[in-house]
Structure 1
Amino acid sequence: MTTTRRTGLRTALLTLPLVVAGVLGTAAAPAQAAPHHQKSLTCRGAGVDPKAAVRAKGETVIDAPLSTIWKLQTDVRRWPSWQSPVDSVERLDHGPFRAGSAFRWTTPLPPNPATTAPTLTVTSTVQQLKAGSCIRWTGPAVADGLHIDGVHVWNFTKVKGGVLVRTEETHTGPQVEADVPAATEILHDGLESWLAELKAAAEARDC
Structure 2
Amino acid sequence: MPGTRHTRTRVRTALFAAPLLAGLLGTATTVPAAATTASGPGASLTCRGEGVDPDARVRHRTETVIHAPLRTVWKLQTDVERWPSWQPHLTGVDRLDDGPFRTGSAFRWTVPVPPNPVTPATELDITSTVEQVRRHACIRWTGPAVGEGVRIDGVHVWTFTVVKGGVRVRTEETHAGPQVDADVPVATGILSQGLEAWLRDLKAAAEAPARRH
Query: Scaled by the length of structure 2, what TM-score is found?
Result: 0.81
Number of aligned residue pairs = 190
Match of 1:31 among 28, 31, 37: 37
Note the C-alpha offset of 1:17.
4.4
Aligned equivalent of 1:175: 179
Instruction: Give the partner amino acid of 1:166.
Output: R
**Identity over the aligned pairs, expressed in percent?**
64
Instruction: Give the partner amino acid of 1:72.
Output: L
Aligned equivalent of 2:193: 189
Residue 53, structure 1, aligned to residue 52, structure 2: no
Counterpart CA distance in 2 for 1:83 and 1:121 is 19
Structure number with the higher helix fraction is 1
Note the C-alpha offset of 1:121.
2.3
Aligned equivalent of 1:124: 128
Aligned equivalent of 1:16: 15
Given the superposition, is the C-alpha separation of residues 185 and 110 from structure 1 closer, same or farther in structure 2, using an over 3 Å criterion?
closer
- How much is the aligned-residue C-alpha RMSD, in angstroms? 2.5
Match of 2:107 among 94, 97, 103: 103
Q: Secondary structure at the match of 1:88?
A: coil
Q: Secondary structure at the match of 2:38?
A: coil
Structure 2 stretches lacking a partner, 5+ long: 1-11, 20-29
Aligned equivalent of 1:76: 80
Given the superposition, is the C-alpha separation of residues 30 and 143 from structure 1 closer, same or farther in structure 2, using an over 3 Å criterion?
farther
User: Where do 1:77-96 residues align within 5 Å?
Assistant: 77-96=81-100
Aligned equivalent of 1:206: 212
Aligned equivalent of 1:3: none
Q: Report if the CA contact (8 A) 1:149-1:171 is conserved.
A: yes
Counterpart CA distance in 1 for 2:54 and 2:65 is 26
Q: Report if the CA contact (8 A) 2:16-2:154 is conserved.
A: no
Given the superposition, is the C-alpha separation of residues 112 and 54 from structure 1 closer, same or farther in structure 2, using an over 3 Å criterion?
closer
